[in-house]
Structure 1
Amino acid sequence: MTIVPSFMKKIFHSRRIAVSSFGALASSFSAQSTSILMTDGFCLFRQSTRLMTKRHLKSFSNSHQQNLNFRSTRVFSVSAYSGVPSDGKTGTETLPLPLRAKLGKADGSHRLVEVDTFQSEEEVETGRRLMNEVIVEGKAWPFEPIFETNRDFQGYFLSHAAFVVRSLEKEESGAILGCFYIKPNFPGRCSHVANGGFIVDPQFRGNRVGTLMGACFKRWAKDLGYKGAYFNLVFASNQVSVKLWEKLGFDRVAVIPKCARLEGMPVDPQTCEPELDTAYGYHIDLDALPEDYDPMEEATFFRP
């Protein structure tokens, strides 16, 4: 059963349409890899927030239907913070997966890893655990409630394209070192701007996992058709993240003072309450990324 976001219910009600069942999405339509979900007389174009009645859809000529050319990688989404539960593989069939690399260890040796899509329910569960750990940690993400179920997590993290960094070392038995996603930051007319979320397992921090994920994000977001990427909330106190994005060529284009109520912030002597952290917005123009950009060269990784 496909879940229609609650905000859509308000749209339908505002248009004075009697909505009896939002779970009954009737049919799918394909025109140049475009999916259209039908519900109660309206259809949701997965690549857009445009609403169109079935009557209007039927009035399209066959040629018009064939000319619908929405980007197949940008499934309908309200914003970077919502989505429909999926498998995280939207558009990934065009990517060179899995991508293998060797990451340096603290002892000078190397760890063989691969970047790939989520391949099992166990990996989804691991991703949810890592997500919940950083939420509880309260220093890098804005969320407070944790994700109670894998389906809830999939609605946020795997709604579009999502990836894991998986160890190929025998002694680590497929351990997930980190995970990240690529999806639209905004709906509709701004859905060509990507957003990304990145998590590194605490036990593997300092092993360049984040750098590998960030470099892959740039390459694959461009390959998936995004024109640029914008990260909404990079907290000033998270200097590892700040330095990473600046190293990878992102520009700081926004500053939001007193934006985040985070754990571990110093206490303001006047209010006797923890200070609110500043948030930065980081942007990169993916159109300017060279066509031959190689994420492995970005961070001097070793090819296996």
Structure 2
Amino acid sequence: MSCYVIKPTSSSQRLPYLPLLMTLRGGRQVTLDNYREQDEQQLFHIFKKIVEDGQNYPQEKMESVQDFRDYYLSHDVFVARDATETEEVLGAFYVKPNFPGRSSHICNGGFIVKETARGMGLGKKMAEYFLYIARDLGYKASFFNLVYVNNEASLKIWRGLGFKEIGLVPNAGYLKGLGYTDAVQFYYDFSTLTGSVEQIR
């Protein structure tokens, strides 16, 4: 048995400020809330497309819904839906321990945005809320293992939010059309986070 196992779990804690209404660039209204079972197929197709593009995640393929469940839905997931009655899923992020056991107080987050919803600031909004949600779920810090240097939008978000760059992994991923690509590692100490989600505009 591997000594490095992070057991699937989901917090029973319902954060009192969810759902949250977000306004994106252009005025589009989006609701951020807990994952629901009916979100699964839409999320799977968004993530499958991102994996197939081969630019941002290390997976080479994501062919089955079960593989998606095992990786993406194993812990707490928060979903951004169009605020109209269609409730189209536009993006999501998970929050889960980055390490097991004695280091499980450090979390990781995995963000996805639907291709047609990019360029409206949804990724940044979710990143801002991630800090408070992860803190309020009881995590003490966040650590991102692999932010590929070609992902300029992601790098800009984490640097803008005050994450510390604590490492560079040379040739961390063999990306489609790019070959071997370095990755930045980011760290955020939640004890430095002040205020609450209400201050996000």
Relative to the length of structure 2, the TM-score reads 0.93
SS across alignment from 1:131: helix
On the 8 A contact 1:165/1:179 being kept in 2, the answer is yes
On the 8 A contact 2:24/2:121 being kept in 1, the answer is yes
CA–CA distance in 1 between the matches of 2:18 and 2:43? 19
Question: Is 2:196 the counterpart of 1:293?
Answer: yes
- The match for 2:139 among 190, 207, 226 is 226
Question: Is 2:108 the counterpart of 1:192?
Answer: no
* Aligned length in residues: 201
Q: What does residue 78 of structure 1 align with?
A: 5
SS across alignment from 1:104: coil
Deviation at 1:216, TM superposition (A): 1.1
SS across alignment from 2:14: helix
- The match for 2:48 among 117, 120, 132 is 132
SS across alignment from 1:153: helix
The one-letter code matched in structure 1 to 2:5 is V
CA–CA distance in 2 between the matches of 1:296 and 1:205? 24
SS across alignment from 2:177: coil
Runs of 4+ in structure 1 deviating by more than 2 angstroms, as ranges, are: 293-297
User: What do the CA deviations read for 1:145-204 (whole angstroms, capped 9, x no partner)?
Assistant: 21402x33222212111011000135xx11111010000000000000000000000111
User: What do the CA deviations read for 1:90-111 (whole angstroms, capped 9, x no partner)?
Assistant: 2441342111121122xxxx11
Q: 1:133 and 1:295, CA in 2 relative to 1: closer, same or farther beyond 3 A?
A: farther
CA–CA distance in 2 between the matches of 1:295 and 1:239? 28
Question: Is 2:36 the counterpart of 1:119?
Answer: yes
Choose 1 or 2 for highest CA Rg. 1
The one-letter code matched in structure 1 to 2:196 is Y
CA–CA distance in 2 between the matches of 1:224 and 1:192? 10
CA–CA distance in 1 between the matches of 2:171 and 2:108? 22
CA–CA distance in 1 between the matches of 2:81 and 2:191? 29
Relative to the length of structure 1, the TM-score reads 0.62
User: What do the CA deviations read for 1:57-103 (whole angstroms, capped 9, x no partner)?
Assistant: xxxxxxxxxxxxxxxxxxxx825xxx53x6xx524413421111211
Q: What does residue 252 of structure 1 align with?
A: 165
What is the identity percentage for the equivalent residue pairs of Structure 1 and Structure 2?
33
Which segments of 5 or more consecutive residues in structure 1 lack a partner in the other structure?
1-9, 12-48, 50-76, 266-273
SS across alignment from 1:143: coil
Question: Is 2:24 the counterpart of 1:103?
Answer: yes
Question: Is 2:183 the counterpart of 1:279?
Answer: yes
CA–CA distance in 2 between the matches of 1:198 and 1:256? 20
On the 8 A contact 2:111/2:123 being kept in 1, the answer is yes
Q: 1:286 and 1:181, CA in 2 relative to 1: closer, same or farther beyond 3 A?
A: same
CA–CA distance in 2 between the matches of 1:126 and 1:92? 24
SS across alignment from 1:126: helix
- The match for 2:14 among 93, 101, 114 is 93
The one-letter code matched in structure 2 to 1:78 is V
